[in-house]
Amino acid sequence: MKKLLLMGAAALLSLGTLSAQGWAWGPKVGATFSTVNGIADTKMLPGVSAGLFFESVACNWFVIESDLLFSMQGFKTDDGDNTSSVRLNYISMPILGKYYVIDGLNLQMGASFDYLVHTGAKVDDVKVDMDGSFNKFNIQLLAGLAYDFDFGMILEGRYRYGLTPLAPKSQDVYSGMLQLSVGWRF
């Protein structure tokens, strides 16, 4: 509960940076391709992300953005004998800076604060209960590249790397995710 309150406070602080002028918001939807680092024979697991973004213009070359997204993450393993998949669904709140290089082309850097809302796992098509096996809170470092069109459309790609261990007993297993998104600015 404390972590959820911290996420809410961070959201309010990031939204508090929005001024009456120079701010925008909009929907965002995309595809995720996630895996983990630290487990042998892992493969990417595809998923989706969807939600809203809010941004505030700090100056003509720098913008602060905060997203609130539902994000499907996880991983697959195949050791030759067994195939398993683990699905981790998060409420994600990336907070980042966007540095505009040329026109709408921008570089992104920041962090994502994720709260685990659902876990699902299968081993050879048999469901396995893994509730409590993963940390509820995950922090990821993110870097990305995006293009903001003048008419409102946004295309972006981000890579996110976990800074907190994925599971309490696995201190060397971290998440990794490629996220491709399309958004529309109002």
Tell me if 163 sits within 8 A of 184, measured CB to CB: no
Q: What is the pLDDT of residues 63-117, one digit of tens each?
A: 999 999 999 999 998 877 888 899 999 999 999 999 999 999 999 999 999 999 9
Cα–Cα distance measured from residue 151 to residue 184, given in angstroms and rounded to the nearest whole number: 9
Sole residue written with tokens 């990031």: 14
Q: What is the pLDDT of residues 41-69, one digit of tens each?
A: 899 999 999 999 999 999 989 999 999 99
Tell me if 109 sits within 8 A of 142, measured CB to CB: yes
7 backbone dihedrals φ, ψ, rounded to 5° = -65, -40
Q: What is the pLDDT of residues 143-172, one digit of tens each?
A: 999 999 999 999 999 999 999 999 887 778
Which of the four pLDDT bands, split at 50, 70 and 90, describes residue 4? Answer: low
> Which of 112, 109, 105, 121 has its CA nearest to residue 164?
112
**Whole-structure pTM value:** 0.84
Q: Say whether 10 sits in a helix, a strand or coil.
A: helix
Q: Say whether 40 sits in a helix, a strand or coil.
A: coil
Cα–Cα distance measured from residue 140 to residue 108, given in angstroms and rounded to the nearest whole number: 14
pLDDT score for 171: 77
* DSSP per-residue string spanning 48-107: EEEEEEEEEEEETTEEEEEEEEEEEEEEEEE-SS-EEEEEEEEEEEEEEEEEEEETTEEE
Cα–Cα distance measured from residue 177 to residue 15, given in angstroms and rounded to the nearest whole number: 25
pLDDT score for 82: 83
Distances (CA, A) of 137 to 13, 22, 185: 19, 32, 29
